[in-house]
Amino acid sequence: MEIIYSSRKLADKLSRLRSQGLIGFVPTMGALHQGHISLVEHAASENDTVVVSIFVNPTQFNDKKDLERYPRNLKADINMLENTGCHIVFAPSAEEVYPEPDTRIFDFGRMDKVMEGLFRPGHFNGVAQVVSRLFDLVRPDRAYFGLKDFQQLSIIRKMVQQLQLSVEIVPCPIVREPSGLAMSSRNELLTKDERENAALIYKMISHAVDWKCERSVDELEQSIAAGINQNPFLETEYVEIVDEDTLEKVTDWQHPGRKVLCVAVWCGKVRLIDNFLIG
């Protein structure tokens, strides 16, 4: 496994490897956990070369304190990637990713203005900037993203379509802790008590499939929010059932598309997101 910090060195290395087979790419912001490792292993099973980037992207944080608080430990991340099938770790500086300020503004219609986009304005434009920039640097055949960040995955698919990029976007299942809590780098910021109580999030959203038989869409959303909010450690920011493809809010169960329940919950000072496919 090789550690590369320079975009020029990365390009030179990949130009030699590209003729030998497919390149799989896993973009991350570090603070790696088993969820990330599952993406790398998935990529390794389908490609000849696997590149993992570790870069905390400043343009997707609308809260400077959140950017400063985001966990960073490059040495631990590199150690985790040993024996996973990763061939190259790309750990660039901001100057390598953005040699010039990225002033691009993407138009995703309403997709980036609901849920996460509503509460984190500008976030998805920053995501589109960094992912498209990393795609330019790596030029992968396939890129792997976790379904925990469901809205982000939808936005990236839309961006690939708009920019007509020749990369296959591969969604990968949510990896959960034994308690059911979705694995996230932000979990490392939780205290022991907060982490234990955050497990309630998944317990509540997993009731959705059974409860939809006896509740309307609005009633189901309200029931789940109330169940989470009864825990003094937790406070919901939103609970929304949306169309899997358009992210538009679903108003009744007769909606023809597949429906996804999405939540954002504050646990102390840590903001957690999760989702559950309810058919």
Q: If DSSP codes are grouped into helix, strand and coil, which group holds residue 198?
A: helix
Q: Smallest Cα–Cα separation from 92: which of 36, 216, 8?
A: 8
Q: Which of 33, 36, 42, 123 is catalytic?
A: 36
| Tokens at 273, concatenated | 């997101």
CA dihedral 42, 9, 138, 86 (to 10 degrees): 0
Q: Tokens 């358009």, residue?
A: 246
CA dihedral 34, 93, 52, 269 (to 10 degrees): 20
Q: Give the neighbor-by-neighbor strand order of the sheet with 168-172.
A: 2-4, 88-90, 49-54, 23-28, 142-146, 168-172
Cβ neighbours of residue 35 closer than 8 Å, sequence gap 6 or more: 146, 148, 174, 175, 182, 183, 184
Q: Is position 36 annotated as part of the catalytic site?
A: yes
State the CB neighbour count (10 A cutoff) for residue 94: 13
Known catalytic residues are 36
